Amino acid sequence: MRIRSQLLIVALSTLVLPWAGCQYARELEVALRTSQEQALLASAGTIANALSAAPQRVFRDGANLAKFDPGRGDLYVFPLDRQPLLDGYREDWGIAQDPVALPGKSAPIARVQAGITERYLYLYLEIDNPHFKPEPSDVHPAHDRFDRIDLILQRPDGALQSYFLATNAPGLIAAQSLVTGEDGADHAIPDPRIQAYWLLTKSGYHVEARLPLSLIGDQLWIVARDGAAEPLPEELRTVEQLPGGRLFFAPRGLDDLLATFVREGTHATVIDANGLKFGSAGHFDPGADEPEGAGLGETWLRRLLAFDNSSLPLRSTAPDRIDGPPASDALAGHPDAVWLRTGHRNLPVLSAAAPINVEGATRGAVVLEQAGDQLVGIRDRALMRLFNLTLLATVVAVAFVFGFATWIGVRIDRLRAAAESAVGKDGRIRLGMPESARGDEIGALARSFESLLARLNEHAQYLRTLGGKLSHELRTPLTIVRSSLDNLESEGLTGEQRVFATRAREGSLRLSSILTALGAAARVEESIKQAERVGFDLRELLVSAVGAYQSGFPKIRFELSAPPDECFLRGAPDLIVQLLDKLVENAVDFCPERGLIAVTLTRDSGNYQLSVSNDGPPIPPEMLGRLFESLFEQRASRDDKPHFGLGLYIVRLIAEFHSGEVAAANRADGGGAVFTVSLPII
Amino acid sequence: MRSCAPAIGYDRAMKKLIAIVEDEPALRDNYAAALARHGYQIKTYGNRKLAMQAFHVRLPDLAIIDISLEDEAEGGFDLCRDLRALSAELPIVFLTARDSELDAVSGLRLGADDFLTKDVSLPHLAARVAALFRRIDALRQPADAAQILRRGALAIDAQKLQVSWNGTPIVLSLTEFWIVHALARNPGHVKNRQQLMDAANVVLDDDTITSHIKRVRRKFVAIDAAFDAIQTVYGMGYRWVE
């Protein structure tokens, strides 16, 4: 893997920044949630305490201590926002709950809903009685059979008062009360304070009634009666105590009182011990903070990060009561805060409840609700910024690292290329490395390379001159040996002595030829220094020389191919012949008997290509680049002549003197080697 | 040195005196022994100073001088110059351990009569010395036309070891003379390097033969710019063409 890719992967580790940001955001949200819980709980506690101090403004006397029991006709009274029209329809009440059935075994089935405004109590009744029996005129109401609705209410002063609603024709009517007249009989007296609207429907009739609050105490007993049924039991008309029908609502002004405590974005509800809603103030919208058309990134982010709200308990939406935690906890005496979710989109809602204690008893609770997505908004904005910043940082870091890695890679590549080409094909060493002026590790590496190459060069230089030096230094002692032998032989030796002297002479002759071979490169260098350039015909030289080689090596076939015309070259012909000698010597060494040595001269634009190709074994590839080095002996020779790997080095020296180049290659057919000298035409 | 032992007074008049200036004692003594065997009187010197002191007292009949003498890398050249100043005719032979010095010597034109590498065998050395003495003697006698070999403009006096071109004498070293002689004796015949070496009584490598030929040509060209009688036959050798 390239350094660039490696560093890129390293750079990608900066992606841990956004991840850490996310983690941080989550923790932040947890912390925010906790602090929100505590703040809301504190608010709830404060409000509850304030309300505990003035219980008469929260609870009407006595009645609300009782347990709410719809089976006994207890009625929850919905607070109404505005005065409804008396028209027999309850759509304008704005209550999202159906009327509840009235208790009682007597037919018909009646369902009731109660509402309260500042001054009136409203009743809405649905009676299933398809056979409407209108009220006859001038008939004793208590005994006559017609459809009617009895209302027995306890007045604020505690006394009971009976009314009934009946009509002979649908429409706006007034309630009638039974008054015992002087004659001892009951008379139905219309009471215009209680108004109602009688509406006939297919299945029965709807009655919407309005009662002034000044008439209303704690209880209201409602009985719907079919004209075909039994008359109202006597005892009910004279009861001192109603069996049920308690009304559950808050004193007037609770909402306003509550509103003074409630901050914006918070919804406060007061419930009584039954969990019934008594008053509320403030407004919150769980979805309000959801930004319109949030960006794709943000949505995605939200999905990635959002707490899973679906496991939260569902927030109660009953219009009349609040059940479950935290209200139930508060009613049990323990303040509590709980995260809920709305049924719509699972948005989080924080709900905190604190008990309202009056004289040591928990009579109700304050429930505060706040949208949780305020936090989500804060978190998302912070997170988005963080995310964007870290992402930008990552992109910048990655880009920077990539660029840096590319730069490093380019430098190393440059160094590698220089190192690879430092030792040329001809064995020459190029000193000087790129990057060596830099102060960093690559620069140091380049300098190490440089010093390594310098030492290699020194070594090569030493090897180049070694032959000459050895040859020179050994020549004087050898001369002593040989001249001593000369003298010895002149002294007149006996037969045996002559044999040894002859052997010694042979040895010294061999030594001498070894020294001559060793010094060959040095002599060529010397003659190159002395060489003069003259113009000559390279073709003629080749014809003559190849002819000589053929007579010198009769067992090998020589072939010369050259351009037909004169090939003028300016140089040293003696040296060129020497070059050719060395190439042919080398070729002959490897050419089998009756093999072919082809000498080829070609001319291209600017260069003569002189090549000597021989049959024989190919050159091992790893040697190709080193053949032209001094003292590089590639193989055991087959003759007695000493070889020091100088022949091809001499070829190189002479080619260089002619500004030319040398190259060795194996023939394409694998059946031999070819050495090519390219000489610029001057 | 047995041959040096007989009565000095008599021998001194008869025997040629050869001075050997060579800093390598073993080599010096070997040369001295060999030449003494041939009947010469030998004086040997280890350095230039001793040699010059002796030469001022008495000139030798022939001097064999090594080029590098002790700490003087080219002390032999200086010695040659000084010696030549003392005597114009005294034959001087350079001995050198280095082949390459032949070229350097050629440029110096110090008036040496021959340049030999130390590869030369002692019999060859003796032959040269004899030849040089013969030339000295021949120069004192009138020219013998029968001894003169003529090849066009070239005239070779084998007795006096002298060559002239168009009547102008050319100063050649003994080796050079023998090479020219070998080539000119059979014009048109290619002489390879070995043949030339044999003719010159030397053992030289190919490069040295090449540089000898080069020097000979240069000497002829100095007299006649159109000189082209020595031809190179690439890969074989040289030939004389008329």
Residue A61 pLDDT class (50, 70, 90 cuts): low
A574 contacts chain B (CB < 8 A): yes
Q: Radius of gyration over alpha carbons of chain B, in Å? A: 18
What pLDDT, on the 0 to 100 scale, is given for residue B40? 93
What pLDDT, on the 0 to 100 scale, is given for residue B55? 92
What pLDDT, on the 0 to 100 scale, is given for residue A287? 59
Tokens of B188: 């048109």
By Cβ distance, the residue of A483, A523, A526 closest to B122 is A483
Query: Quick check: is A42 in a domain?
Result: yes
Query: Quick check: is A423 in a domain?
Result: no
Residue A590 pLDDT class (50, 70, 90 cuts): confident
What pLDDT, on the 0 to 100 scale, is given for residue A576? 92
CATH topology of domain B145-240: Arc Repressor Mutant, subunit A (1.10.10)
- Cβ proximity of A269 and A284 under 8 Å: no
Query: Quick check: is A344 in a domain?
Result: yes
pLDDT tens string B65-120: 988 888 887 888 888 888 888 888 889 998 887 666 666 666 566 778 888 887 78
Contacts of A527 in chain B (CB under 8 A): 103, 207, 210-211
| C-alpha separations of A304 from A286, A289, A349, B46 in Å | 20, 18, 20, 103
- Cβ proximity of A111 and A99 under 8 Å: yes
What pLDDT, on the 0 to 100 scale, is given for residue A421? 83
Q: Looking at CA atoms only, how far is residue B145 from chain A in angstroms?
A: 37
Q: Please give the single-letter amino acid code of residue B159.
A: Q
Q: Is the pLDDT of residue A679 over 70?
A: yes
Asked whether the beta carbons of residue A544 and residue B103 sit closer than 8 angstroms, the reply is no
What is the mean pLDDT of the segment spanning A658-671? 88
Assign 3-class secondary structure to A38-72: HHHHHHHHHHHHHHHHCHHHCCCCCHHHCCCCHHH
Q: Is the pLDDT of residue A598 over 90?
A: yes
Contacts of B214 in chain A (CB under 8 A): 574
CA nearest B27 in A: which residue? A480
DSSP element (H, E) containing A638: none
Which segment, A438-442, A450-454, A515-519, is predicted with the most confidence on average?
A450-454
CA nearest A491 in B: which residue? B37
Query: Quick check: is A148 in a domain?
Result: yes
Task: Please report the ipTM that was assigned to this predicted complex.
Answer: 0.80
A492 contacts chain B (CB < 8 A): no
Q: Is the pLDDT of residue B200 over 90?
A: no
- Of A265-279, A355-369, B195-209, B223-237, the one with minimum mean pLDDT is B195-209
Both A120 and A54 in a single domain? no
Residue bearing the bigger pLDDT, A304 or A459: A459
Asked whether the beta carbons of residue A475 and residue B118 sit closer than 8 angstroms, the reply is yes
Domain carrying residue A232: 95-248
Q: Looking at CA atoms only, how far is residue A534 from chain B in angstroms?
A: 13
CATH number at residue A208: 2.60.40
CA nearest A509 in B: which residue? B119
CA distance A144 to B195: 172
Asked whether the beta carbons of residue B27 and residue A476 sit closer than 8 angstroms, the reply is yes
CA nearest B33 in A: which residue? A487
Residue A271 pairs in a beta bridge with A277, A365
Asked whether the beta carbons of residue B100 and residue A522 sit closer than 8 angstroms, the reply is yes
What pLDDT, on the 0 to 100 scale, is given for residue A636? 52
Contacts of B33 in chain A (CB under 8 A): 487
DSSP string, A310-366: GGSPBPP--SSB--STTHHHHHTT--EEEEEE-TTTT-EEEEEEEEEEETTEEEEEE
Both A377 and A495 in a single domain? no
What pLDDT, on the 0 to 100 scale, is given for residue B10? 41
CA distance A449 to A415: 9
Q: Is the pLDDT of residue B44 over 90?
A: yes
Both A227 and A343 in a single domain? no
Both A164 and A258 in a single domain? no
Both A234 and A111 in a single domain? yes
DSSP, res A143: T
Contacts of B233 in chain A (CB under 8 A): 544, 548
- Cβ proximity of A212 and A155 under 8 Å: no
Q: How many domains, in total, are found in chain A?
A: 4
DSSP, res B147: G
CA nearest B204 in A: which residue? A516
Q: Find where tokens 């704005």 sit.
A: A94
- Cβ proximity of A268 and A284 under 8 Å: no
Contacts of B30 in chain A (CB under 8 A): 480, 483-484, 486-487
CA distance A282 to A255: 9
CA nearest B96 in A: which residue? A476
- Cβ proximity of B164 and B155 under 8 Å: yes
Q: Is the pLDDT of residue A562 over 60?
A: yes
Q: Find where tokens 């074994």 sit.
A: A617
Q: Looking at CA atoms only, how far is residue A454 from chain B in angstroms?
A: 29
A487 contacts chain B (CB < 8 A): yes
CA distance A511 to A477: 11
Residue B9 pLDDT class (50, 70, 90 cuts): very low
What is the mean pLDDT of the segment spanning B167-171? 88
What pLDDT, on the 0 to 100 scale, is given for residue A128? 82
Q: Looking at CA atoms only, how far is residue B70 from chain A in angstroms?
A: 13
Query: Quick check: is A525 in a domain?
Result: no
Tokens of A158: 């505690």
What pLDDT, on the 0 to 100 scale, is given for residue A350? 82
Tokens of A504: 């010694």
Q: Radius of gyration over alpha carbons of chain A, in Å? A: 60
CA nearest B205 in A: which residue? A516
CA nearest A526 in B: which residue? B100
What pLDDT, on the 0 to 100 scale, is given for residue B8? 39
CA distance B23 to B45: 7
CA distance A663 to A667: 12
CA B225 to chain centre: 26
Percent of chain A with pLDDT over 90: 8
By Cβ distance, the residue of A472, A516, A574 closest to B97 is A472
Asked whether the beta carbons of residue A523 and residue B119 sit closer than 8 angstroms, the reply is no
DSSP string, A73-100: T-EEEEE-SSPPPSSS--GGG---S--E
DSSP element (H, E) containing A556: none
Q: Find where tokens 């050249």 sit.
A: B77
What is the assigned CATH class of domain B2-139? alpha beta
Residue to substitute from A483, A484, A551, interface B, most B β-carbons within 10 A:
A483
Both A268 and A320 in a single domain? yes
Domain(s) of CATH 3.40.50.2300: residues in chain B: 2-139
The distance in angstroms from the start CA to the end CA of chain B is 49
Please, which residues have CB within 8 angstroms of residue B196's CB and are 6 or more apart in sequence? B179, B182, B183, B209, B237, B238
Residue to substitute from B31, B106, B192, B207, interface A, most A β-carbons within 10 A:
B207
Q: Is the pLDDT of residue A50 over 50?
A: yes
By Cβ distance, the residue of B33, B97, B234 closest to A545 is B234
What pLDDT, on the 0 to 100 scale, is given for residue A600? 93
CA distance A75 to A83: 19
What pLDDT, on the 0 to 100 scale, is given for residue A579? 92
Residue A106 pLDDT class (50, 70, 90 cuts): low
CA distance A628 to A665: 12
Q: Mean pLDDT over all residues of chain A? A: 80
In our burial notation (b when 16+ CB lie closer than 10 A, e otherwise), range A56-79 reads: ebbbbeebbebebeeeebbbbbbb
Q: Find where tokens 């590639």 sit.
A: A634
Tokens of A309: 């709200």
Residue A570 pLDDT class (50, 70, 90 cuts): very high
Q: Is the pLDDT of residue A530 over 60?
A: yes
Beta-sheet strands, E only, within A502-581: 534-537, 557-561, 568-571
Asked whether the beta carbons of residue A479 and residue B118 sit closer than 8 angstroms, the reply is yes
Q: Which of A682, A678, A681 is nearest to A660 (CA)?
A: A678
What is the mean pLDDT of the segment spanning A470-493? 85
Q: Is the pLDDT of residue A144 over 80?
A: no
By Cβ distance, the residue of A479, A520, A526 closest to B27 is A479
What pLDDT, on the 0 to 100 scale, is given for residue A300? 64
A482 contacts chain B (CB < 8 A): yes
What is the mean pLDDT of the segment spanning A571-594? 89
Q: Is the pLDDT of residue A241 over 70?
A: no
Packing angle, helices A441-490 and B122-139, rounded to 10: 70
Give the residue from A362, A381, A400 where a domain finishes. Answer: A381
CA distance A599 to B204: 29
Both A543 and A667 in a single domain? yes
A656 contacts chain B (CB < 8 A): no
A479 contacts chain B (CB < 8 A): yes
Q: Which of A613, A608, A619 is nearest to A559 (CA)?
A: A613
Which chain B residues have any C-beta within 8 angstroms of a chain A C-beta?
24, 26-27, 30-31, 33-34, 37, 97-100, 103, 118-119, 121-123, 205-207, 210-211, 214, 232-236
What pLDDT, on the 0 to 100 scale, is given for residue B11? 43
Residue to substitute from B125, B128, B234, interface A, most A β-carbons within 10 A:
B234
Tokens of B172: 């050649």
Query: Between chain A and chain B, how many beta carbons pairs sit less than 8 Å apart?
Result: 86
A667 contacts chain B (CB < 8 A): no
Three-class secondary structure of residue B214 per DSSP: helix
Asked whether the beta carbons of residue A544 and residue B233 sit closer than 8 angstroms, the reply is yes
Asked whether the beta carbons of residue A479 and residue B119 sit closer than 8 angstroms, the reply is yes
Both A354 and A280 in a single domain? yes
pLDDT tens string A343-383: 766 777 888 888 888 877 787 888 888 877 666 666 677 77
Both A135 and A237 in a single domain? yes
Q: Mean pLDDT over all residues of chain B? A: 83
Give the residue from A364, A381, A398 where a domain finishes. Answer: A381
Both A118 and A220 in a single domain? yes
Give the residue from A488, A518, A548 where a domain finishes. Answer: A518
Domain(s) of CATH 1.10.10.10: residues in chain B: 145-240
pLDDT tens string A606-649: 899 999 999 988 888 877 777 787 767 655 555 556 666 788 88
Q: Is the dihedral of CA A633, A634, A640, A641 positive or negative?
A: negative
Please, which residues have CB within 8 angstroms of residue A307's CB and are 6 or more apart in sequence? A29, A348
Please, which residues have CB within 8 angstroms of residue A600's CB and are 6 or more apart in sequence? A560, A561, A562, A609, A610, A611, A612, A613
CA nearest A548 in B: which residue? B235
Q: Looking at CA atoms only, how far is residue A579 from chain B in angstroms?
A: 11
Given 3-state DSSP classes, what are the helix, strand and coil percentages for chain A, each rounded to the nearest 5?
Answer: 40, 25, 35
By Cβ distance, the residue of B30, B33, B123 closest to A480 is B30
Q: Looking at CA atoms only, how far is residue A619 from chain B in angstroms?
A: 27
Residue bearing the bigger pLDDT, B25 or A304: B25
- Of A300-314, A427-441, A462-476, B200-214, the one with minimum mean pLDDT is A300-314
Both A605 and A496 in a single domain? no
Query: Quick check: is A326 in a domain?
Result: yes
| C-alpha separations of A287 from A60, A309, A371, A573, B51 in Å | 36, 14, 8, 101, 124
How many CB atoms neighbour CB A461 within 10 A? Answer: 12
Residue bearing the bigger pLDDT, B59 or A523: B59
What does pTM read for this prediction? 0.54
Please, which residues have CB within 8 angstroms of residue A97's CB and are 6 or more apart in sequence? A78, A113, A318, A319, A320
Asked whether the beta carbons of residue A484 and residue B26 sit closer than 8 angstroms, the reply is yes
What pLDDT, on the 0 to 100 scale, is given for residue B106? 61
Both A295 and A326 in a single domain? yes
Which segment, A206-210, A238-242, A310-314, is predicted with the most confidence on average?
A206-210
Contacts of B122 in chain A (CB under 8 A): 483, 486-487, 490
What pLDDT, on the 0 to 100 scale, is given for residue A557? 92
Backbone φ, ψ for residue A423 (5° rounding)? -100, 105
What is the mean pLDDT of the segment spanning A170-175? 84
CA nearest B233 in A: which residue? A544
